[in-house]
């Protein structure tokens, strides 16, 4: 998927993240592609315009430490960046053309290309085409009215999904005039998760392989087949014409078997190959064999890897993600190392050497993660052996059993420049230490923990669709969005299930008993929710879960709304997305939207 994202980036097309098995990512609170615009696969930095050469790029993003006990694993950055480029461009990538680095799009210094910024640019008509791939931004994005207006300013949009949704049919939604919208919309039907083979990765970093069950229905295809065909057609066109054909024409794109997308070929490409014979520590690895782990990747173009963190997931021993071993590790704490695979190198707990003392003895003797069991002689360790989880670096402990310090050991936090944990975050837009700021919209005129009211570096937008209100009597209550167990994301799959709709049939607002009494609203009565950006009709759920707050001597009421609904189907009358109410505002580092606190009013119909 990363390859096609780079391809689309060269075309000037804004594309969203793909959730390979589900059907749409969660923009609220997830880390999908648009929220992680600043990195390439493997957490490699997106190149900036000032990184004019591959050498400059690697020098910029490769840290150095003067502490000899720091592993500073990111010092291997050039190995991973070059191996990724070799994966993208194959034999076309060589030293003379900087392994194709010059072909990749560069981010303007200081610019941001996250979700909010993409739709802001679309609203301003600087983006002309959009792939809505496995997502429903007309419902899932904050300030959904702005998103829908932005979609109407495109030349074309491709909606790739299981079903039509509010995004694919935005042009005939509430308040829209189809005759005035120029956007040409295409629907590419994708199949469901059980109808395709491939891997998923969960928040525990487990990569699990899933086999296909039933065949795809109708004309629907797996995402991989759609991307493969699209790439082939684009390459075909660019062979004949194109303003800048090299990135497309030279793209390695051989992921089919017998004319059909092959997920195993992609998985192997992500793992990586030796692309020439390589001798490492006296052992020769032949061209065309899979790299056993990222420790073998090279910076000279002799190896490829689409994502160095996944190197070791598909080796000459087989597909590690497809394993289903039931035996736990020796420490019996639920690691199950032979079940599926975990990035990196099947390490189930990151920084696990921080769980032991300087001599390699676990702080927790009962539920230990790793334990150093090397042989010792005369109070010194003379062999290396860790048991339990895959150690986060297999070096000796910092101290010998007699307490003497070793010079061949490493600090446990190997991905940190100096090898130590950090309680602050250098490089963040709003400073290295956490601070409390009030949200863009709030019910009080004072920040009681900080003289600065709102984060001065927060992402805030200024089009006419970006109205917001603080301490405005028209919107006296704090709104927040959340999920309910019966529905998934914007309900694209769950709203089609009659039994789920029977359990949770419609949009609602949850309010406290105190607010219900204040407003004269009974449980189940209809109300309108309004904010500075939009209005949503819904039913009321009066609950004990919500309680008033006391803030600065004021009684502040909060209301809650789920964001699983929209107008498209099944028909829910005048009800629509909760995100018609939420603001275009986000934190300055990742642009994660501020949809958990905004101001609304509740008016009984």
Task: Kindly calculate the radius of gyration of the chain based on its CA atoms and give it in whole angstroms.
Answer: 27
- Asked if pLDDT for residue 18 goes beyond 60, the answer is no
- What are 66-78's pLDDT values in tens digits? 999 999 999 999 9
Cα–Cα distance, 192 to 457 (Å, whole number): 40
Q: What is the CATH number of the domain that holds 147?
A: 3.40.50.740
| Chain centroid to CA 242 | 31
Range of the domain at 115: 2-256
- Asked if pLDDT for residue 425 goes beyond 90, the answer is no
Per-residue pLDDT, averaged over 520-529, amounts to 96
- Between these two residues, 345 and 24, which has the higher pLDDT value? 345
- Considering the domain boundaries, does residue 336 fall inside one? no
DSSP lists the bridge partners of residue 377 as 380
CB 292 within 8 A of CB 301: no
Per-residue pLDDT at 386: 97
- Considering the domain boundaries, does residue 138 fall inside one? yes
- What are 279-319's pLDDT values in tens digits? 999 999 999 999 999 999 999 999 999 999 999 999 999 99
CB 380 within 8 A of CB 245: no
16, 37, 118, 524, 589 from 114: Cα distances, Å = 10, 6, 6, 39, 10
Q: Assign residue 13 a region: left if phi > 0, alpha if psi is -120 to 50, beta otherwise? A: beta
β-bridge pairing 314-315 and 283-285: unpaired
Cα–Cα distance, 78 to 125 (Å, whole number): 38
| Phi and psi at residue 326, to the nearest 5° | -105, 0
Which SS3 state, helix, strand or coil, does residue 550 take? strand
- Considering the domain boundaries, does residue 266 fall inside one? no
What 8-state DSSP symbol labels residue 567? S
- Considering the domain boundaries, does residue 59 fall inside one? yes
- Considering the domain boundaries, does residue 316 fall inside one? no
Per-residue pLDDT at 434: 84
Q: How many CA atoms lie within 13 A of 568 on its CB side?
A: 20
- Asked if pLDDT for residue 572 goes beyond 80, the answer is no
Per-residue pLDDT at 575: 78
Per-residue pLDDT band at 216 (split at 50, 70, 90): very high
Percentage of residues of the chain with pLDDT beyond 90: 83
Q: Looking at 153-157, 502-506, 526-530, which range is the least confident one?
A: 502-506
Per-residue pLDDT, averaged over 576-586, amounts to 94
| Helix or strand (DSSP H, E) at 120 | helix 115-123
Percentage of residues of the chain with pLDDT beyond 70: 93
- What are 240-272's pLDDT values in tens digits? 888 899 999 999 999 999 989 999 999 999 999
Cα–Cα distance, 76 to 69 (Å, whole number): 16
| Chain centroid to CA 205 | 13
What 8-state DSSP symbol labels residue 384? -
pTM for the whole thing? 0.90
- Considering the domain boundaries, does residue 412 fall inside one? no
3-state secondary structure string, 434-469?
A: CCCCECCCCCCCCCCCCCCCECCCCEECCCCCCCCC
Kindly give, in sequence order, each residue whose CB lies less than 8 Å from that of residue 175, ignoring residues fewer than 6 positions away: 145
- Between these two residues, 5 and 159, which has the higher pLDDT value? 159
CB 383 within 8 A of CB 374: yes
Kindly give, in sequence order, each residue whose CB lies less than 8 Å from that of residue 596, ignoring residues fewer than 6 positions away: 439, 480, 481
Per-residue pLDDT at 432: 87
What 8-state DSSP symbol labels residue 291? P
- Asked if pLDDT for residue 220 goes beyond 50, the answer is yes
Compute the Cα dihedral for 145, 147, 149, 152 and give only its sign.
negative
| Domain count along the chain | 2
Cα–Cα distance, 385 to 373 (Å, whole number): 5
- What are 467-512's pLDDT values in tens digits? 998 889 999 999 999 999 999 999 988 998 999 999 999 999 999 9
CB 410 within 8 A of CB 396: no
CB 310 within 8 A of CB 271: yes
Q: What is the CATH number of the domain that holds 482?
A: 2.40.40.20
| Phi and psi at residue 245, to the nearest 5° | -75, -20
- Considering the domain boundaries, does residue 106 fall inside one? yes
Domain boundary among 237, 256, 275: 256
Per-residue pLDDT at 242: 83
- Considering the domain boundaries, does residue 105 fall inside one? yes
Q: How many residues does the structure list for the chain?
A: 605
Q: Assign residue 242 a region: left if phi > 0, alpha if psi is -120 to 50, beta otherwise? A: left
Per-residue pLDDT at 20: 28
Strand spans (E) along 238-302: 256-257, 260-261, 278-280, 283-285
Domain boundary among 223, 239, 256: 256
- Asked if pLDDT for residue 6 goes beyond 70, the answer is no
Tell me the two tokens of residue 385: 């052996």
Per-residue pLDDT at 2: 45
Domain boundary among 230, 256, 282: 256
What 8-state DSSP symbol labels residue 293? S
Per-residue pLDDT at 306: 97
Per-residue pLDDT band at 27 (split at 50, 70, 90): very low
Per-residue pLDDT, averaged over 125-145, amounts to 95
CB 267 within 8 A of CB 42: no
Cα–Cα distance, 161 to 464 (Å, whole number): 31
Which SS3 state, helix, strand or coil, does residue 569 take? coil
Per-residue pLDDT at 428: 86
β-bridge pairing 380-381 and 376-377: antiparallel
């Amino acid at each position: 998927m990363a390859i096609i994202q780079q391809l689309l980036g060269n075309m000037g097309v804004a594309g969203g993240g793909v959730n390979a098995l589900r059907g749409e990512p969660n923009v609220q609170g997830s880390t999908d592609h648009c929220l992680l615009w600043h990195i390439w696969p493997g957490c490699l930095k997106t190149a900036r315009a000032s990184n004019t050469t591959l050498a400059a790029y690697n020098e910029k993003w490769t840290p150095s430490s003067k502490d000899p006990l720091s592993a500073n694993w990111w010092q291997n950055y050039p190995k991973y960046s070059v191996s990724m480029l070799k994966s993208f461009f194959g034999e076309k990538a060589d030293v003379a053309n900087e392994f194709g680095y010059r072909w990749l799009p560069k981010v303007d210094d200081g610019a941001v290309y996250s979700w909010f910024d993409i739709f802001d640019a679309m609203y301003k008509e600087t983006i002309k085409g959009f792939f809505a791939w496995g997502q429903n931004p007309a419902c899932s994005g904050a300030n959904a009215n702005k998103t829908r207006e932005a979609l109407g300013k495109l030349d074309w949009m491709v909606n790739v999904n299981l079903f039509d949704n509010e995004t694919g049919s935005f042009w005939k939604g509430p308040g829209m005039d189809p005759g005035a919208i120029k956007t040409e919309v295409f629907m590419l039907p994708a199949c469901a998760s059980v109808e395709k083979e491939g891997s998923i990765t969960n928040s525990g970093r487990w990569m699990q392989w899933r086999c296909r069950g039933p065949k795809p229905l109708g004309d629907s295809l797996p995402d991989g087949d759609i991307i493969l065909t699209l790439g082939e057609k684009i390459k075909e066109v660019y062979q004949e014409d194109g303003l800048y054909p090299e990135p497309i024409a030279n793209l390695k794109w051989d992921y089919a078997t017998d004319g059909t997308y092959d997920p195993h070929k992609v998985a192997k490409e992500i793992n990586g190959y030796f692309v020439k014979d390589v001798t490492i520590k006296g052992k020769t690895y032949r061209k065309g064999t899979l790299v056993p782990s990222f420790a073998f990747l090279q910076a000279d173009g002799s190896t490829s890897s689409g994502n160095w963190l996944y190197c070791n997931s598909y080796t000459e021993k087989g597909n590690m993600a497809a394993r289903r071993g039931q035996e736990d590790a020796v420490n019996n704490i639920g690691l199950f190392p032979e079940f599926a695979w975990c990035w990196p190198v099947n390490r189930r707990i990151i920084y696990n050497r921080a769980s032991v003392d300087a001599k390699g003895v676990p702080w927790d003797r009962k539920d230990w993660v790793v334990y150093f069991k090397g042989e010792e002689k005369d109070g010194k360790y003379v062999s290396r052996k860790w048991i339990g989880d895959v150690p986060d670096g297999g070096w000796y402990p910092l101290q010998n059993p007699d307490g003497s310090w070793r010079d061949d050991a490493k600090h446990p936090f190997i991905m940190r420049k100096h090898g130590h944990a950090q309680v602050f975050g250098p490089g963040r837009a709003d400073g290295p230490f956490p601070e409390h700021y009030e949200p863009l919209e709030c019910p009080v005129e004072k920040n009681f923990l900080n003289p600065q009211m709102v984060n001065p570096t927060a992402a805030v937008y200024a089009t006419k669709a970006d109205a917001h209100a603080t301490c405005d009597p028209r919107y006296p209550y704090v709104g927040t969005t959340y999920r309910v167990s019966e529905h998934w994301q914007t309900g694209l799959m769950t709203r089609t299930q009659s039994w789920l709709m029977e359990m949770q049939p419609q949009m609602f607002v949850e309010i406290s008993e105190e607010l219900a009494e204040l407003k004269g609203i009974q449980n189940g009565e209809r109300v309108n929710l309004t904010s500075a950006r939009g209005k949503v009709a819904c039913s009321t759920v009066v609950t004990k879960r919500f309680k008033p707050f006391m803030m600065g001597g004021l009684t502040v009421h909060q209301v809650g709304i789920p964001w699983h609904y929209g107008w498209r189907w099944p028909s829910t009358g005048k009800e629509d997305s909760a995100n018609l109410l939420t603001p275009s505002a986000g934190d300055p580092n990742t642009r994660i939207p501020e949809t958990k606190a905004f101001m609304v009013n509740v008016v009984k119909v």
